Amino acid sequence: MNSSHATSTRRRRDASTRSVRADILFAFAIAVALGVAYLLREILLLLYVSALFAVVLTPLVSAVLQLRIRRWSPGRGLAILLLMMAAASCAALFFAFAMPPVLHDAREFMKELPWRGPQMLSRLRSLPFLSRIDVRALNAKVQGLASNLAEYILLSISGWAGKLADIAATVVLTVYFLLEGDVAYRWVVSFLPPQPQQRLDAALRRAEARMGRWLLGQGLLMVILGLTSTIVFALLRIRYAYALGVLMGALNIIPLVGGMFTMSLVLLASAMDSWEKLAGAAIFYAIYTQVESTYLTPRIMRSSVDLPGLAVLVALLLGSKLDGVVGAMVAVPTAVLVAVLVDEYLRSYPSQDVRAQDVRAQNARGRHDRGVSESGREPVEDAD
């Protein structure tokens, strides 16, 4: 009796020791994985951004795949190639028509900056709220900036080369994810048990659908902003009106931040001509932001994305802090993905299988209660 008790005690102690060792090893493995992820954070971020771009662009690829010319239809590779050629053609047309006048005016401005700069500063000083500016010190800084601009451009070439390499890698990885993303996705999901695998797959499919609707809604907002901006800038006769209008629409792919950045360029270009143009551009943008936030966005985006404005703003701040412009571009799709996963795993909403099991259990319990009540009434009837 004592020996069996000692044996069971020793077994429990050994099992507890193995459990402690397993917990320690698991914690150590998690720490190592986090350390490796931190060391490879730039590569992992590049992979994540490329995969997210592929998910967002998948509806466009599907739309191209549905094209039919008699009995011929494009394959997936050809559809991706057509999208890339369309994007490259639009970019080439934009730079071919918009950049030459901008570069010409920039060269002329740099030539005239040493003597036009003091005139602009003295004009600014005539304003009441800018009368205390030290014009001499500011003029010296402007002339120093003009003389050191070429040196700054040469020093920043290496940084721009690294950014261009990251952009090229993102494009290549996005193409690979568009071509073979389903195979990689199935391979990763296959490591999960069947029931969690089905639940995660359903959640990610819902996130993909919401991202596609977000792209459609955001594209419509981009077209509206681009057209209205081009018309208003042309009516105000702001220089580079057509280029700035196209840029307003294109950069609106980044909500809030893209429009504000382009609008700063518009205000700068209009200020070179007259204060009236600057005021007109500012009034237009103020009116448009009100119309967009109160009428367009609720009707176009709320049904597709279903995210509050505060969540979008926080996502944009975090994305821009992590990876600049690219991080801001993928901020809203990432917020959509996080929202879907939170709805699925953290909120107390039972899944359809659980709800079906609850319904079956309630029905069985109801049938059992009815059977018990009927069996309880039968002896009374016999006694009567």
Residue-wise pLDDT for 41-60, tens only, equals 788 888 888 888 888 788 88
Please state the pTM of the whole predicted model: 0.65
Cβ burial of 211 (10 Å; 0-12, 13-18, 19+) is buried
CA 75, CA 360: separation in Å to the nearest integer? 46
- Report whether pLDDT(38) > 70: yes
**What pLDDT is attached to residue 283?**
92
**What pLDDT is attached to residue 114?**
63
Q: Do the beta carbons of residue 226 and residue 233 sit within 8 Å?
A: no
Q: What is the pLDDT of residues 352-381, one digit of tens each?
A: 444 444 445 555 555 555 554 444 444 444
Q: What is the pLDDT of residues 132-182, one digit of tens each?
A: 655 566 556 655 655 555 565 666 666 667 777 878 888 888 888 888 888
- Report whether pLDDT(242) > 60: yes
State the residue for tokens 């050994």: 14
- In the chain the first and final C-alpha atoms are separated, in Å, by 61
**What pLDDT is attached to residue 162?**
72
The amino acid that residue 113 corresponds to is L
Cβ burial of 315 (10 Å; 0-12, 13-18, 19+) is buried
Greater pLDDT, 323 or 354: 323
Point out which residues pair with 72 in neighbouring strands. Answer: 69
CA 106, CA 192: separation in Å to the nearest integer? 58
Query: What contacts 24+ positions apart, CB below 8 Å, involve 82-88?
Result: 83/57, 84/175
CA 245, CA 229: separation in Å to the nearest integer? 5
Q: Do the beta carbons of residue 124 and residue 138 sit within 8 Å?
A: no
Q: What is the mean pLDDT of residues 199-208?
A: 86
